[in-house]
Amino acid sequence: MARALLAWTRLGRRDPGAHIRQVEVNGQPGALVLDGSGAVIGVMALDIAGGRITAVRSVVNPDKLAHLGEVGDMRALLARRAD
């Protein structure tokens, strides 16, 4: 889990307005990752069993995110340099 959060944090440095919003994903805790303009760039879902995180699932495929609203340009974000 720590590695996944670190990767998203590094990505967020490329867009200072990027943020993570806590949401429920398929009945489990999760997060919606938004770029500085509020467009969706990813979703993370946690599988929890017995009070422990057993899996972290991440979706960044724009086709699978389109039903959530405007989808950000992940490629453009990745191409930016972090300051």
Would you say residue 80 lies in a domain?
Answer: no
pLDDT value of position 6:
72
pLDDT per residue over 18-58, tens digit each?
888 999 998 999 999 898 899 999 999 999 999 998 998 98
pLDDT value of position 24:
94
Q: Which residue has the higher pLDDT, 73 or 39?
A: 39
Would you say residue 43 lies in a domain?
Answer: yes
pTM of the model: 0.77
Look up the domain containing 15 and give its range: 2-75
Would you say residue 81 lies in a domain?
Answer: no
Report whether 40 contacts 69 (CB < 8 A).
Answer: yes
Would you say residue 29 lies in a domain?
Answer: yes
Would you say residue 55 lies in a domain?
Answer: yes
Whole-number Å distance between alpha carbons of 27 and 54: 15
Calculate mean pLDDT across residues 55-68. Answer: 92
Whole-number Å distance between alpha carbons of 77 and 79: 5
Would you say residue 83 lies in a domain?
Answer: no
Mean pLDDT of the chain: 85
Q: Please state the domain count of the chain.
A: 1
